[in-house]
Chain A
């Protein structure tokens, strides 16, 4: 039988000599959902970019329906019925959903027709049961809607082979579930999907076969029904990973962060936060749970100084920081791992070294105020080693690292800043299982070091296994403050998150 897609002995060496793929082999059959898993930097995205014509192949061959593919740009891939959703969004923010939909299409007329574009987009969305607002500008869309738009874009280009590079990393469990329904639907229609994810339960749930990549080489392809999650994680990292941590006993002491009666209204005049109050003390991890869009991102933006509240106060170490600049807030003692690493977390064109030291570069200067390069280098080398960042050296541009490795650099920078408060917004998004357990152990280390930690995560497992207390947000209010010992269950959290259960008397 002929395969839909066959990758034979494909090798990719980036300029600068980074070997990302080494003699990779795998095949994809028509109509299957094929999962691709592997650690951060294993070369998954690289392989997919070659399939999609965004990167050249250094050596090797790719065949589709028996015919060898030689792409010079993604246009060729699109013409061959291949579509790709990238790890980081590929949308033009100031254009509307419909305009993004039509971008680069040949079949549209020269003069753009707004109304018709929106109609077509809505029609396609309806056909596949997607729910998006086609007339809205992308910059005003939620991540979930953006992700759906990305997929619709591909479907509209009548792709037969769909590549999805970590499509669920930015989605809530509910959105993921919805998306999976759509995938199964697409599969029924005879489409083929290659799916990349670090969430092994998702892989297990949705895929037919799994290919494991490790260090740029294929470790093998397995039938999903034959392997368990533990088997997969074993194949990926070579050891078993468990998220059951032994948390040492730490007595929380004085209050570091105090939020009182915070309020915020967004530009569509929708109240996003309606009177939120809570405290975070030294030596405790406070988790914030909630279905995306219930005010968590706004709350974090306000606490970190990126947005201004319309009412209420934020105190850090006893100082009112409600109206301070981000720079001053950091100096007062706050570290922040932001939700969107490419936009708020790093300067992609700059080197790993510059990104690692941007916030503490002053500490490397001598008494004349000159930066001592040797010290900077040594510091960076130590962080790269400690956090196991896969990079050529400290001078590689951070944007050319794999997604998970970029995240590790940001985490390293923030954890080394020696602040009293760590605000962690989705700290392990897009990070492989091995690295997740490493970052988790670092977070617990920070807790033992008597830091106050505020953790926001869409991953309930993560929240439950790390937090000492969990606050649940619903419609801009805290509806539950749960003591996490003994551990609360996901079901319990779910009830609060959906607003089915409420505690009275919370801010």
Chain B
């Protein structure tokens, strides 16, 4: 029954379902690196998911929808920034408040526009196309896995690579990290702390918006109430695991994609109770986290041992 591990389509699905969590994790990474605790990633994704659907439906132009949703993501992040950084509200409270606004507000708008509380299928919204990568698509296994993904997945990869390059190789990135790690030192060096935190918030907003749009304009063809379903919160765990590093963050989110996909396959192929299967991704991630932590500890321990042996000799 486990032979689906060998099928390229399984791995293709893994990559696909990783996309939204990967983007959310990137958003969380930016927040950690700039010294912000933003719980509102979940809500921001939800708002953007709806914005993309609505605007693309009314303008019948995918790109207008996309741009407005991105602008919305940045705007929501800036609202968070205004309350948390400028008005100095408690960050966790600001995050929770925005999430509540998002979950209530999206339903409200949905009902106004479609009359339905559940989904936007009444709207003729547009979706991002699936992209075939020329030469790659003809290579057997790799082609199936890496080609033919949704356009947002590719955009996501580009964003992750650009962001980590920005964070570690450019002055902007160094400044953002300095601001996040030691704001007093950054201030004394003449940096404008709030400015760099808002730059980080903008990037967070962009990542959230693509993450949200992937759900409502890629994976599914319409908006469903509460469709982010905890991915924003999941990203906080992935972020903690990657300690703010976007590339590691991207790899950790693969873990989510993997367990999420297995769940789908288990539902199809096994007779285990559905409720139990639903819990699988979370259990799986906890177990993996424990394993990783143990490995980290053992390595650290080994190093110490080695050092002491060398000294003894």
Contacts and interface: CB of A to CB of B under 8 A. Distances in A.
Given A73-B190, A94-B181, A265 B308 contact: yes
A267 B175 CA distance: 28
Contact of A99 (B174, B187, B303, B308): B174
Contacts of B304: 310
Contact of B307 (A93, A112, A310): A310
Interface string B170-199: 111111011001101111111110000000
B185 A92 contact: yes
A90 B189 contact: yes
Nearest to A113: B169
Interface string A252-270: 0000000000010101010
Interface residues of A, number: 33
Interface string A91-103: 1111100011011
B306 to A, nearest CB: 9
A104 interface: yes
Given A108-B171, A111-B170, A54 B308 contact: no
B3 interface: no
Interface in B145-187: 169-175, 177-178, 181-182, 184-187
A455 to B, nearest CB: 28
B164 to A, nearest CB: 14
Interface in A91-138: 91-95, 99-100, 102-104, 108-112
A103 B189 contact: yes
Interface string B191-226: 110000000000000000000000000000000000
A91 B185 contact: yes
A104 B191 contact: yes
Nearest to B308: A310
B171 A112 contact: yes
B174 A95 contact: yes
B190 A78 contact: yes
A271 interface: yes
A92 B182 contact: yes
Given A73-B190, A90-B188, A112 B182 contact: no
- Taking each of B188, B190, B310, which has the highest tally of chain A beta carbons within 10 Å of its own beta carbon? B188
A52 B170 CA distance: 28
Contacts of A269: 307, 310-311
Contact of B181 (A52, A54, A93): A93
Q: Interface centre among B181, B189, B191, B304, by most A CB within 10 Å? A: B189
B170 A110 contact: yes
A311 B305 CA distance: 11
Contacts of B169: 111-112
Contacts of B189: 74, 90, 100, 103-104, 153
A135 B173 CA distance: 18
B142 to A, nearest CB: 32
A253 B76 CA distance: 68
B219 to A, nearest CB: 36
A74 B188 contact: yes
B182 A93 contact: yes
B216 to A, nearest CB: 35
A104 B185 CA distance: 10
A86 B188 contact: yes
B284 to A, nearest CB: 31
Contact of A92 (B181, B190, B303, B307): B181
Contacts of A93: 181-182
Contacts of B185: 89-92, 103
A100 B181 CA distance: 12
Interface residues of B, number: 26
Contacts of A204: none
Contacts of A99: 174
B187 A74 contact: yes
Nearest to B185: A90
A90 B187 CA distance: 9
Interface in B254-313: 303-304, 307-308, 310-311
A342 B42 CA distance: 36
Interface in B80-133: none
B171 A110 contact: yes
A84 interface: yes
A95 B310 CA distance: 30
Contacts of A311: 308
Contact of A310 (B172, B174, B311): B311
Contacts of B175: 103-104
B190 A74 contact: yes
A420 to B, nearest CB: 31
A111 B171 contact: yes
B182 A90 contact: yes
A263 B307 CA distance: 12
A94 B35 CA distance: 14
B307 A265 contact: yes
B98 to A, nearest CB: 25
Contacts of A92: 177-178, 181-182, 185-186
Contacts of A103: 174-175, 178, 185-186, 189, 191
A324 B181 CA distance: 31
A310 B169 CA distance: 38
B179 to A, nearest CB: 9
A153 B187 CA distance: 14
Contact of B311 (A75, A108, A265): A265
A135 B182 CA distance: 19
Interface string B232-245: 00000000000000
Interface centre among B170, B172, B182, B184 (most CB of A within 10 A): B182
A89 B310 CA distance: 35
Contacts of B170: 110-112
Contact of A73 (B172, B182, B192, B308): B192
Contacts of B190: 73-75, 78, 104
Nearest to B193: A73
Given A91-B182, A92-B181, A93-B182, A112 B308 contact: no
A86 B188 CA distance: 9
Contacts of B308: 263, 265, 310-311
Given A84-B188, A91-B185, A311-B308, 12 more contacts: A73-B187, A73-B192, A74-B187, A95-B181, A103-B186, A110-B172, A111-B170, A263-B308, A265-B307, A267-B303, A269-B311, A310-B304
24 contacts: A73-B187, A73-B190, A75-B192, A86-B188, A89-B185, A90-B182, A90-B185, A90-B188, A91-B182, A91-B185, A92-B177, A92-B186, A94-B177, A95-B174, A99-B174, A102-B171, A103-B175, A103-B191, A104-B191, A112-B173, A263-B311, A265-B307, A269-B310, A310-B304
What are the nearest 8 A-B pairs in CB distance? A104-B189, A75-B190, A310-B308, A90-B185, A104-B190, A90-B188, A103-B189, A92-B178
